[in-house]
Amino acid sequence: MSADIIRKPTGGVKIRPHLTDYAAECRNFSWAAARAAIDGLPDGGLNIAYEAIDRHVQTGRGAHIALRWLDKQGAAHDFSYFRLRELTNRFANVLTDLGVGRGDAVFALMGRIPALYLSALGTLKNGSVFCPMFSAFGPEPIHQRMSIGQARVLVTTAALYARKVVGLRASLPDLAHVLIADLDAHAPAPEGTQNLQTLMAQASDTFTIAATQPEDLALLHFTSGTTGRPKGAMHVHEAVIAHQATAGYALDLRPEDVFWCTADPGWVTGTSYGIVAPLVIGATMLVDEQEFDAERWYRTLQNEGVTVWYTAPTAIRMMMKLGAERVRQYRYPDLRFMASVGEPLNSEAVIWSNAAFGMPFHDNWWQTETGGIMIANFAACDVKPGSMGRPLPGIEAAIANLDEAGRLVFVTEPGEQGQLVLRTPWPSMFRGYLNEEARYRKCFIDDWYLTGDLARRDEDGYFWFVGRADDVIKTSGHLIGPFEVEDVLMEHPAVAEAGVIGKPDPVAMEIVKAFVALKPGVKADEALRMALLAHARKRLGAVVAPKEIDFLPALPKTRSGKIMRRLLKARELGLPEGDTSTLEENA
């Protein structure tokens, strides 16, 4: 894995990054001080929506654009903080009028349309609990999540309701209200539902925000990893303290920015950093209804004056497939910071972005359970391609292994791998798995949260992802992280994506097998297979390099863009792949 350092060019934008002295900031930081930077409700308490909207209006920034929404045709629709306050007040009043109160669960099943953002923030104003779902989910994962979460309200569209929800109503006894978000105000709603626009028009645009407390439940995010029933990770209003601090440190975000997070709010990134963090900072949040299209993305970056861009490795690899020349057909004079999250960003992608955009993507790491960014490559610091970066101020990370008694034994030698653990607490840390207290307790030993990710730390304090603990390959007495092998395969100019698994072997226990998707126009043949095997052996050595390589048109992925190695292994072993629609891995 390359450890070459890339220095972020200053370009034409003269802005001093937030984190210029990493060591000093870590020494001086306290969560108490971060809490003091949050206004809090006028009469006490803490509410995410108040910090995201109303306090900006009260401090004279109400006319600033809070949300710029691009519809599928590319037309822009602007919502000021004034307008956002009014509309979220109306939604909160709709809930109140329906008898939906504090602690009740409001689920959303929509694409990236304004109603999704209004319902999220209006729900939080009401003191209810917001739970987003991917609009691409099938009926079974929708039913699982709404059943576990005891959904009281569902906000969705007419088409999604008809295709995916109407048949579930009888088996969802807690679901009292279905609000259809995309009908004209005077259009009739489907039987058993109500027209949200009609209700909004009738509701008052003034609302007294619920006096929620820091530990009141605010957000419910489901994550199922690779196996088992979905887990409902519970987050509280205090998480907003971490959202504000991490947006400044890890994303270098500030009020004058135009911020574009491409993540769907069905994924925790799309809520924490696609809704909450930019609004708490007071920035302009850009939302595009359309799915990925490289040319549209480049035009959007250019024409909308995006200054900070947060996207996923899958999208970056798709752009890499099309080549750097496509990127260079556009100009990005306002863009000053690019970040990536979702899975480890291959070193080749960082190097490519530096050449294509004139600046690197800054990878960072966190999980649904952490609620916010924990480790990052910072704007003012060197970027080590392939590295997760260093812990944020206020976050203590370590590498540890478990001894026979189940105690943590901390790793002190640079380069030695073990499980990544985080010292608790921090404000956005999840407070439990819904109705699964025993499962939650297993995530902790003493004051440390066990992430389930294997990593190593180098001599400069940068952390490097090795793999999920259950993905690690055991071959001939060696432990091999699949990401390290994938990263090297991605270096080859023919490779667009790579996924690596352990294939059972009677002698070695497992051998390393790779699945590769090639760039457009590249022919998959035996000569290329041998060239890739030779490249991997040269870079990794005979023990770590794959013994077999298969070519696939595309690799299976979760909704958040992570490669599903479980399905690659099932394919290899000839096992049923099962219903993959329920998979939604950690951030």
Q: What is the 3-state secondary structure (H, E, C) of 475-492?
A: ECCEEECHHHHHHHHHCC
* Tokens read off for 445: 């030993």
My answer on whether 387 and 432 are in the same domain is yes
Q: How many CA atoms lie within 13 A of 476 on its CB side?
A: 7
CATH code for the domain in which residue 567 is found: 3.30.300.30
Distances (CA, A) of 466 to 419, 480, 482, 513: 9, 8, 7, 16
What residues have CB less than 8 Å from 385, skipping those under 6 apart?
A: 2, 3, 4, 6, 347, 348, 349, 350, 351, 360
Is residue 205 situated within a structural domain? yes
Strands, E assignment, 381-460: 390-391, 397-402, 408-410, 418-423, 432-433, 444-445, 448-457
Residue 34, pLDDT score = 95
My answer on whether 453 and 475 are in the same domain is no
Taking the mean position of all CA atoms in its chain, how far away is CA 92? 26
> What average pLDDT does the structure give for the chain?
90
Residue 228, pLDDT score = 54
Distances (CA, A) of 75 to 69, 262, 264: 8, 17, 19
My answer on whether 539 and 390 are in the same domain is no
pLDDT band, residue 324 (cuts 50/70/90): very high
Q: Which domain holds residue 508?
A: 471-582
Residue 183's CB: how many other CB atoms inside 10 A? 19
Distances (CA, A) of 37 to 32, 59, 252, 407: 9, 14, 17, 37
Q: What percent of the chain has pLDDT over 70?
A: 94
pLDDT tens for residues 134-154? 888 888 888 989 999 999 999
pLDDT tens for residues 54-89? 999 999 999 999 999 999 999 999 999 999 999 999
What residues have CB less than 8 Å from 375, skipping those under 6 apart?
A: 364, 365, 366, 388, 389, 390, 391, 392, 395, 397, 463
SS3 116: helix
My answer on whether 424 and 556 are in the same domain is no
My answer on whether 574 and 511 are in the same domain is yes
pLDDT tens for residues 14-50? 677 778 899 999 999 999 999 998 989 988 899 999 9
**CA-to-CA distance for 494 and 521, rounded, in angstroms?**
9
My answer on whether 134 and 26 are in the same domain is yes
Q: Is the pLDDT of residue 579 over 50?
A: no
- Do 550 and 516 meet the contact criterion of CB atoms below 8 Å apart? yes
- Do 502 and 475 meet the contact criterion of CB atoms below 8 Å apart? yes
My answer on whether 364 and 512 are in the same domain is no
CATH code for the domain in which residue 417 is found: 3.40.50.12780
**CA-to-CA distance for 312 and 297, rounded, in angstroms?**
13
pLDDT tens for residues 392-427? 999 999 999 999 888 999 999 999 999 999 999 999
pLDDT tens for residues 475-529? 765 667 787 788 889 989 999 999 999 898 777 778 999 999 999 999 999 999 9
My answer on whether 182 and 145 are in the same domain is yes
Give me the number of domains the chain comprises: 2
- Do 219 and 277 meet the contact criterion of CB atoms below 8 Å apart? no
* Tokens read off for 462: 């940068």
Amino acid at 458: D
Is residue 4 situated within a structural domain? no
My answer on whether 265 and 225 are in the same domain is yes
Q: Give the chain's end-to-end CA distance (angstroms, integer).
A: 22
Is residue 7 situated within a structural domain? no
Q: Is the pLDDT of residue 314 over 90?
A: no
**CA nearest to 241, candidates 93, 38, 500, 3:** 38
Is residue 229 situated within a structural domain? yes
**CA-to-CA distance for 99 and 91, rounded, in angstroms?**
13
SS3 347: helix
What residues have CB less than 8 Å from 575, skipping those under 6 apart?
A: 569
Q: Which of 432, 457, 482 is the last residue of a domain?
A: 457
My answer on whether 355 and 264 are in the same domain is yes
My answer on whether 398 and 546 are in the same domain is no
Q: Which of 423, 457, 491 is the last residue of a domain?
A: 457
Is residue 98 situated within a structural domain? yes
Cis peptide bond upstream of 190, omega within 30: no
pLDDT tens for residues 254-301? 999 999 999 988 889 999 999 999 999 999 999 999 989 999 999 999
Q: Which of 373-377, 383-387, 481-485 has the highest mean pLDDT?
A: 373-377
**CA nearest to 263, candidates 217, 312, 214, 226:** 312
My answer on whether 428 and 476 are in the same domain is no
Is residue 3 situated within a structural domain? no
Is residue 310 situated within a structural domain? yes
**CA-to-CA distance for 380 and 374, rounded, in angstroms?**
17
Helix H or strand E encompassing 511: strand 509-518
* Tokens read off for 130: 């917001």
Helix H or strand E encompassing 259: strand 258-261
Is residue 34 situated within a structural domain? yes
pLDDT band, residue 371 (cuts 50/70/90): very high
Q: What is the mean pLDDT of residues 217-242?
A: 86
